[in-house]
Amino acid sequence: MNRRLLRCLTGAVLAAVVVLAPAGAGPAGAGPPGSTADGPVRLLAAPDISLSNVKAHLSQFQSIATANGGNRAHGRPGYLASVNYVRSQLDAVGYTTAVQSFTYNGATGYNLIADWPGGDTDDVLMTGAHLDSVTAGPGINDNASGSAAILEVALAVARTDLAPEKHLRFAWWGAEELGLRGSQYYVNNLPAAEQARIGQYLNFDMVGSPNAGYFVYDGDNSDGVGSGPGPAGSAQIEQTIQAYFTSIGVPTRGTDFDGRSDYGPFIRVGIPAGGTFTGAEGIKSSSQATLWGGTAGTAFDPCYHRACDTTTNINDTALNRNADAIAYAVWELAGTPAPPGSTVYSDTFETATGWTVNPAGTDTATAGQWSRADPAATSSGVATQLGTTVSGSFDLVTGPLAGSAAGDHDVDGGVTSVQSPPISLPGSGTLTLSFSWYLAHLNNASSADYLRVRVVGGSTVTVLNVAGAASNRAAAWQSASANISALAGQSIRIVVDAADASGASLVEAAVDDVRIVQS
């Protein structure tokens, strides 16, 4: 990551030659990637990226630097050797690679561009990282970490024989440390029509800082950092990456598009961008140390731009999490279609998967808010809350505790809502949402009380709307299903509301085993 701002990007690039590589061997089809049985499951879900594989690439970059004067900087033999290493990995699994050369400060630099066959070439999802180091050291965190992580994600694309709707392109940039020279050259030399074909750009620069933070580029300025949001479409990248970190219980904070990395040339021409960053020479605050662990008052990367930025200067946990976040973002944003009869999404609530309580900040319930929990059984003449779920031990339930009386933890005072993480629907086929549910109440309820399930995308589809009544209704699991094909091709969220809106009444609700299937 360089210290210069985008205003430094003037002149100095003199000439270029694009060298096209012959097509390599066909992709190594290893079948569909894995998924977890108790978390959200998408067909062709992003695989778990092997930390050991990513670290093996880091070891290769370290060896290259050691053999070439201790660095992999622009114009030095270690940089070209790094390009050749990455290219050889990609050529072997079926990417079409091209090396783009440029001249800066009297030395030749190189960008490596790799395209995965297939997908809509009018809608390119591009993922990049800079490959060069500073001259002072081997640059393992800055930025062999990002380069190795996106390389392993690119290889995972090949292993799984991914066939996304969008065209996938990966890039390793030269001379970033001298002012984003390689990425700027690439963007400047793309005809306007080619720029327009890049729908989104993902950038990963320093993703293994030893005193790591978890920063996500603030695409919509929702965190109020910096001067404003990125181009339209950047917010989707931010939200997608945040959804991954939420699913693993890691809080994130926004970081500004300040022009210090290779997203800069893309956002300047209106291409939406985003990515992650674990911190450079900035000092971790006490509040950040409380949030993420590590040491307050110390730089996120004490070896930033120094000779000690070696393979020992890596936080394995941060590197592993960010590599998986990269894969999640690529798989989600690429629009991987689900074949007929496939499960698009499934959640049994046995693990936390990113559902958010009170997502709009408008809930009025004073008790009995939604929770993912192992519920306690309650009754008051009739069963009001079930202690058993449809599968496993957990469900979404209003006020899971029993208390000393049946009404101690039921819904009181208004509405409580809970919302799923974003779910990317395929663009074709019949899409069916199914789930299990119950609504229980006593005879002090009324028709103003309810359980409602909606699917929210470009429009809203209400799939369940059950009203209460002035009668006892025992808790009993029921099944519901609805056709949501009207939202095909969209990113949607499932929103569940329960309400005690009729004064003092006992109302309980639960939802379990949510599933979307394409047929």
Q: What's the burial of 488, exposed, middle or buried (CB within 10 Å: 0-12/13-18/19+)?
A: middle
Dist CA 122 CA 197 (whole Å) = 5
In CATH, the architecture of 342-518 is: Sandwich (2.60)
pLDDT for 426 equals 86
pLDDT for 224 equals 52
> Contact at 8 Å (CB) between 402 and 353?
no
pLDDT for 291 equals 97
Q: SS3 of 508, please?
A: strand
pLDDT digits 0-9 by tens, 395-436: 999 999 987 766 677 898 899 999 999 998 888 889 999 999
337 band by pLDDT with thresholds 50, 70 and 90 = low
Name the segment(s) of the chain with CATH classification 3.40.630.10: 6-26+46-333
Considering 287-296, 391-400, 456-465, the range whose residues carry the highest mean pLDDT is 287-296
pLDDT for 380 equals 87
State the average pLDDT over residues 466-470: 91
Q: Return the structure tokens found at 123.
A: 């809608």
Considering 13-22, 251-260, 285-294, 378-387, the range whose residues carry the highest mean pLDDT is 285-294
pLDDT for 364 equals 94
Measured at the CA of 303, the angle between CA 301 and CA 305, to 5 degrees, comes to 105
Measured at the CA of 184, the angle between CA 262 and CA 20, to 5 degrees, comes to 100
Report the DSSP beta bridge partners of residue 173.
130
Domain 6-26+46-333 sits in CATH at: 3.40.630.10
DSSP-assigned states of every residue in 257-316: --S-STTHHHHHTT--EEEEE--SSSBPPHHHHHHH-S-TTSBS-TTTTSTT-STTS--H
Residue with tokens 């949030």: 291
Name the segment(s) of the chain with CATH classification 2.60.120.200: 342-518
5-9, 392-396, 471-475, 502-506: range with lowest mean pLDDT: 5-9
111-115, 117-121, 402-406, 511-515: range with lowest mean pLDDT: 402-406
Q: Return the structure tokens found at 295.
A: 């040491």
DSSP-assigned states of every residue in 87-105: HHHHHTTT-EEEEEEEEET
Whether the per-residue pLDDT at 342 is higher than 90: the answer is no
Dist CA 18 CA 98 (whole Å) = 7
117 band by pLDDT with thresholds 50, 70 and 90 = very high
> Contact at 8 Å (CB) between 369 and 414?
no
pLDDT for 10 equals 34
Measured in whole angstroms, how far is the alpha carbon of residue 509 from the centre of its chain? 31
Determine the straight-line distance between the first and last CA of the chain, rounded to whole angstroms. Answer: 46
- The reply to whether 508 belongs to the active site is no
HEC string for 159-211:
HCCCCCCEEEEEEEECCHHHCCHHHHHHHHCCCHHHHHHEEEEEEECCCCCCC
Catalytic residue among 152, 176, 350, 508: 176
Amino acid at 490: Q
pLDDT digits 0-9 by tens, 80-116: 999 999 999 999 999 999 999 999 999 999 999 999 9
pLDDT exceeding 70 applies to what percent of the chain? 87
